[in-house]
Amino acid sequence: MSEDIEIEEPETGTLPLDAWHRDKGARMVEFAGYWMPIQYEGIVAEHEWTRSNAGLFDVSHMGQLLLSGPDLDAAVEAVLPIDLSTLKLGQQRYSLLLDEDGGVLDDLMVSRWPECLYLVVNGATKWDDIGHLREYLPDEITLNHLDEQALLALQGPKAADALARHATGEYPLSALTFMKFGRFTIAGHEVTIARAGYTGEDGFEISLPGHATEEIADVLCREPEVKPIGLGARDSLRLEAGLPLYGHDLSPETSPIEAGLVFGINKRRRSPVEQGGGGYPGATRINREIVEGTLRKWVGLKVEGRMPAREGAEVFAGGEQVGVVTSGGFSPTLGAPIAMAYVASAHAATGTALEIEVRSKRLAATVVPTPFVPHRYYRGK
């Protein structure tokens, strides 16, 4: 007779700014295995502040990885549908971790550092991602998890002005354009700054030593344009920007082509194998879908009235269910509910009238282009 073994649940982790958030009155919630701030003053107020000023987000739960070793580009191209021959030093690019069936295991950022590649992966999937990469990359490739690094995101139209007062380097911060990065110093600490983010606004992601996080957060939040912002506003901002959230809009049950992420399959990788294409997990299905299309598509929906449609709500065309909502909420910028949903391709054209069932009521909805709110990334003057 076997003994009953009591398995302890892993404790919720804390990030370098945990006490800092609590001192500022943040409401803390468990997210991706960590205690994180959901809001400070309120989600709508923080959302609107970020749209007009600059918000500081703690995203230190994300996984920061360094890959290095011989024939690194070829090894990584066997795992990701990326064309690393066109990724130059100081550039970063969106990519996807896929399973053998073309399902999405994670979406991530890849940056070209000297002699290595730097990856940022989602916090909720980072341990699975690390395991997957260690299994599928050759033994000669070294994977370092930068678990002593923190990650802050400064987002909004005034982020550049506030950050430029403190970031010094070989060239000015203004030299960075969207999806470029460089090495800088803030408050005497070496940091890496990328001009990117998850809000649709101009902004920056700052990789910094964990022990310096509180000092740098204080330095930035002393600027009149900057306030700390919680996860609640981060979600409403990314929804308005039409950006997917892994585990909700993306999963192993979705392909990148269904999700409208064909840009994540770099051009050379879409070609036949003899032309340098394919060669990554799920390539057969994905390259077929690029040519032939998919049975369903991820679309934006503008919802009539004031009641938001949440994840899991069913989408109808007349009496037929044709889709399901994956993300939804009330848009502070538009003053109306919006949603993202997978719907049958026959009902995915812009302007198509649909209905969403919420609390046993049918809400009128219309397929609209995304982003709901235009992106304002800085691509240079």
Tokens 């370098």: give the residue.
16
Annotated binding site: 205
Of the candidates 355, 352, 358, which has an alpha carbon nearest to the alpha carbon of residue 329?
Answer: 358
User: Which residues sit opposite 110 in a β-bridge?
Assistant: 93, 119
Tokens of 207: 């990789």
Q: ω into residue 244 within 30 of 0, thus cis?
A: no
Tokens 């400070």: give the residue.
40
The HSE-up count of residue 367 (CA atoms within 13 Å, CB side) is 22
Distance (Å, whole) CA 255 – CA 272: 19
Q: What is the largest CA-CA distance in the chain?
A: 73
- Give the DSSP per-residue string, 273-322: GGGT---STTHHHHHHHHHH--SEEEEEEEESSSPPPPTT-EEEETTEEE
Residues in the chain: 381
Distance (Å, whole) CA 287 – CA 151: 34
Q: Is 55:235 a contact under the CB 8 Å cutoff? A: no
Tokens of 277: 């294409």
Q: ω into residue 337 within 30 of 0, thus cis?
A: no
Tokens 């959302």: give the residue.
47
Distance (Å, whole) CA 259 – CA 245: 11
**CA 80 to mean position of chain CA atoms:** 17
- Give the DSSP per-residue string, 312-365: T-EEEETTEEEEEEEEEEEETTTTEEEEEEEEEGGG-STT-EEEEEETTEEEEE
Tokens of 256: 């990148």
Tokens of 234: 């981060």
Annotated binding site for substrate: 205
